[in-house]
A and B are shown apart, each in its own frame.
Chain A
Amino acid sequence: MKRAIVPYFFLALFWQVAATATAQPLYRASGKVTDAATGELLIGATIMVVELGRGTATGTDGTYRLDNLPQGVYQFRCSYVGYKTQTATLNLQADHVQNFSLQTLGATQRELTVTGDKTREVLQQSSQSVSTMSKSDVDKHRGQTLGETLRDLPGVTVLQTGPSISKPVVRGLHSQRVLILNAGVRQEGQQWGAEHAPEIDPFASAKIEVLKGAASVDYGSDAIGGVIRIEPRPLPRENAVGGELTVNGFGNNAQGAASVLLEGGVAPLEGLKWRLQGSYRRAGDAATPQYFLNNTGFSELNFSATTALRKDWGDLCAYYSRFSTELGVLRSAHIGNLTDLVSSMQRREPFFTAPFSFSIDFPRQRISHDLISLRARLGLGNEHTLQLTYGYQQNIRQEFDAHVPLGTDRSRREIPSFDLTLFTHTAEARFAHAPIGNFIGTLGLAATAQSNNNLGRSALIPNFTSLTGGVFWREAWVSEQWTLNAGVRYDVRVQNATPYGSSRIAQQLQRGEIQSRQLFHTVTGAVGALFQFSPEWSIGANVATAWRPPSINELYSDGVHHGTAQYETGNPALNVERSFNIDATLRHVGEKTRLEFSIYNNAISNFIYLFPLVEPQITIRGAFPAFEYQQANAVLRGIDGFFEWTVFNQTRFFMSLSLVRGWNIGRGEPLINMPSDRLIVGVHIDLPEAFGLQKTYLELTSTQVRRQDQFPTLTLPAQLPPALSDPEAYQFYVQNLTLPPAGYGLLGVSIGAEFSLLAQQATLILSAQNLLDQRFRDYLSRFRFFADDAGRNIILRLQLAFGAYSDD
């Protein structure tokens, strides 16, 4: 460091001397450098005076100063990694202030056209449909799971397994078909399981983006339904330490949640910033209007640490997060066999209803997820940038069954029935070349290595290792009104399964009767166009393909799935699933109105789905509902969108719509488990300032969910399967298993305000979900045969900033 200063010192001295010698008048040029889109001050941006070969960089306040400049005409070149270089011509006759506002050169397509105009940024965001939740939107859902946070977005619904487990469903697809990017790394847990929720700390994210539709060119396999990008908030610009404390209370399940965030900079090292964040959630049994959902409590402890270094050559960011939870699975959903399931389907109330409790008993899940993400963004000169990302993840999932086999000690329930450890390494390199004419583009390489290990009492999936590699290229042609983009990608995956346990498929694997090594490879592509045809309107259209190889459970699972008493059989002969998605998005940003409306057609060849078999699985413990992974061509069509209208200055109406129709072409019937049609309408009223309360608002929301009328039916075979111990229950099961429950409507209300507490900014939000305490069962609730969904929930959220913390 010290050595580097010396030449500058001499240089400065030389200029001093030279200037004095000629005795010319000397002037000062100064100014600040900001991000054109966000107005964020840029630290470490370089300013070069081309003619003089002299330069400087902006300091921590984003400003620069060049003293002792002789009179003259100069080219000032301002550059910063990841941004388009800007040149300004100055005729220096006096001290001069020259500010620069730089445009980003990120991976998205908007680079050349963004003029710092927010309207334009929204209109020209992407040729695909994207829903973005800003920090303040996410703040309104703090303490809830990722699925619940996203559920109000158009095109997004939720697959729920009781109050503690929820998964986002994007345009009718979920699990392995929705990719989650957490801090730039693709989240890899056991996401194939419908009751395996994403391992995401609900307090760690500041911005969530849902990219809808196929997106394999940028993200590789699995991006068939969409991509959910979760980003922590940007690190602070200042060195001063600041933070935020969030406290939540949920009335329904007596949930308490708290999160603390601390961030700052390291003074001796310019550009080095850090953040520590931790959160804890604890809840007991959730309540329906009439009874408690026993054993649905959870206890979750999360932690994350971030540090980043920002220099003029680029920036480096290291992120570590740990997610750990222990959650109960509804006691009444733990059923023995078909007879039990049927008697549960016929009941109005679950088997067990006990008073409220915090205890987490069997069946339960214990999950931990560690993620390390290392990211670098390097300027390669000439406006080329290179982005490198490495991710390491360790996911441990333990599922404890309430049942122990005959004659085994009860203490063996403490040994998980499933115990899976998944290690994932991901690496990615993206090279963004400098604009060539109107072309901007990215070339990339991606690799993923995985290994899965079983340790439990039984196994549903085998152990496996897999290696995936991909290479892609994407170019965009950008003009004032048009963005045209195209991309292509090649991926290859090798997967090797080794049997665990003694199920039939495990034995076949052992004997080599079914293939343990599988190779999948595919080419995907995308073409898109975006046209801003007026200052307030744009339209985008996209044709994209995506793929995913059959996941390990779809290929090899063979056994009773814990908790749900469902016998699932895989199919080792499954092929790669491919999607061909066409969509169009209309966007409007007006003075009083905002709109985004999308229409899509997602044709999926070799769609893999779990389907109930009419023939149950007969075991010594009775008949079990049997499910098999099947493959057929399918098509999902739908529309989603939102509309917002500021009727008066203080009153805003909004609505959000999600409709999807799934058709199984192979069977000629509707696809199973497609989300019901959903319409959300609401009104947001800004209230006048009073009693020191600012930004006070009242929001009323009504969610209407239509009964799903598109579903397949099962037909009773002419002759009942032999060896049935309870034929009546069996008939009821076949006739009722696929029937969706009734539609429902829910009312929500929310009141929020900002105020000053101990000279710091504080936000208080009081809200109620299901205000009228309606009884309902959602079609995508895995517990719809056992119990109602949760009733009224009154939630209080308090957010306190402290120190040098600014809420962007």
Chain B
Amino acid sequence: MLSLKLQFIRKKNPAAILLALALLSLVGGCRRTDNPVETNEQESITTMRLTLTPVGGGAPVTAQWRDLDGAGGNPPVITPLALRAGTTYNGTVEVLDESKTPAENKTTEIREEANEHLFVYTVSGGAQGRVNITVTDLDTNTPPLPVGLQYRVEVTAGPAVSGNLRVVLYHYDGVRKTVNPSNEIDIDASFPLNVTP
């Protein structure tokens, strides 16, 4: 069809070329419709869950950030993180898309792309200095760099304090991963943090 048109163009005058161009652009225009894509990808993470297991044994504590209807609409529901002074925890993080049924576990994808992702945990407010978080897992970059899917939380002994825990997931998209922030942020969410003696 196309080669036929081109032959036509070679032989004919400028008017014919114009006509053919117009036809081609129309054909191009029509083809666009048969390209259905999945929409609203931006909102595909609804939930982040932190699970902290005390090293000396005991029931794990969790904190959850959840916004089932995505950006806009209802505000996120956040359950605070309650920690005990003088305790050390081993932590994990789970990222879910609960807008799908069944819920999609995005943690696996982050693990697969560990060489391009980094979780950074920052404590602020009164809990700063009392709660120290160290990332314990490494990726397969050379030299290996932290990932942050696993971490250790050390809470020093002392009186009750409260503060904030900010969790940022950086994505090194097309750039070399470092331990510094990238401009691609996949997650940036905060949990209220309470330490009780």
Whether A504 pairs with B76 at a CB distance below 8 angstroms is no
CB under 8 Å from chain A, chain B span 1-49: 14, 18, 22, 25, 29, 32-33, 35-46, 48
When distances are taken between beta carbons in the complex, the residues of chain A under 8 Å from B41 are: 404-405, 408, 412, 457-458
**A406 with B45, Cβ < 8 A, contacts A322-B25, A455-B37, A726-B166 known:** yes
Q: In residues 76-128 of chain A, which contact B (Cβ within 8 Å)?
A: none
Cross-chain pair count, CB within 8 angstroms: 145
| A457-B38, A459-B39, A503-B72 given; A340·B14 CB < 8 A | no
Q: Chain B interface: which size bin?
A: 35 or more
Is there an interface contact between B37 and A457, defined as CB atoms closer than 8 Å? yes
A276 at the interface (CB under 8 A from B): yes
Given known pairs A501-B39, A618-B75, the reply for A410 and B183 (CB within 8 Å) is: no
CB neighbours of A723 from chain B (8 A): 75-76, 78, 189-190
- Within A610-631, the residues touching B (CB, 8 Å) are 617-624
- Determine if A624 and B188 form an interchain contact, defined as CB atoms under 8 angstroms apart: no
User: Across the two chains, which residue of chain B brings its CB closest to A623?
Assistant: B188
A743 at the binding interface (Cβ < 8 Å)? no
Contact of A407 with B by CB under 8 A: yes
Contact (Cβ within 8 A) A336 B169:
no
Segment at the interface with A among B54-62, B63-71, B136-144, B154-162 = B63-71
A624 to B109, Cβ gap below 8 A? no
Q: How many residues of chain A are within 8 Å of chain B by beta carbon?
A: 56
State the CA gap A320–B188 with chains docked (Å).
49
B106 proximal to A (CB < 8 A)? yes
In the complex the two chains form, is B39's CB within 8 Å of A502's CB? yes
Nearest to A423 among chain B residues (CB) is B29
In the bound complex, do residue A500 and residue B188 qualify as a contact, i.e. CB atoms below 8 Å apart? no
Contact of A620 among B22, B39, B166, B187 (CB under 8 A): B187
Contact with A along B71-109 (1 / 0, CB 8 A): 111011010000000000000000100000000001001
Q: A405 — which chain B residues lie within 8 A by C-beta? A: 41-42, 44-45, 186
B145 contacts the other chain (CB 8 A): no
Q: Is A567 an interface position by the 8 A CB rule? A: yes
Evaluate whether A559 and B71 lie within 8 angstroms (CB atoms) in the complex, with A370-B25, A723-B76 already known: yes
A788 in contact (CB, < 8 A): no
Q: Which residues in chain A, 472-507, are within 8 Å of chain B measured between CB atoms?
A: 500-504
Q: How far is the CA of A456 from the CA of B42 in the complex (A)?
A: 12
Q: Does B72 lie within 8 Å of A502, measured CB to CB? A: no
Question: Are A500 and B184 neighbours in the complex by a CB distance under 8 Å?
Answer: no
B32 engages A455 (CB within 8 Å): yes
A407–B109 CB distance below 8 A: yes
Cα-based distance from A322 to B18 in the complex (angstroms)? 12
Residue of B41, B69, B109 most packed against chain A (CB within 10 A): B41
**Shortest Cβ gap from A599 to chain B (Å):** 44
Q: Identify which of A336, A396, A404, A559 contacts B185 (C-beta below 8 A).
A: A336
A311 at the A/B interface (Cβ < 8 Å)?
no
Interface string of A658-699 (1 = CB under 8 A from B): 000000000000000000000000000000000000000000
Indicate whether A529 reaches chain B with its CB closer than 8 angstroms. no
Is B174 engaged at the interface, CB distance under 8 Å to the other chain? Answer: yes
Q: What are the 10 A-B residue pairs with the smallest beta carbon separation, nearest first?
A: A407-B109, A622-B188, A725-B190, A336-B185, A619-B71, A504-B73, A406-B186, A501-B39, A405-B41, A502-B40
Which residues of A does B touch, CB under 8 Å? 276, 305, 320, 322, 334-337, 339-340, 351-352, 370, 394, 396, 402-408, 410, 412, 415, 417, 421, 453, 455-459, 500-504, 558-560, 567, 569, 617-624, 722-726
| Besides the known contacts A405-B42, A406-B169, A620-B48, 10 further A-B residue pairs in the complex with CB atoms under 8 A apart | A406-B187, A407-B113, A410-B174, A456-B37, A501-B40, A504-B69, A559-B72, A560-B42, A567-B72, A622-B168
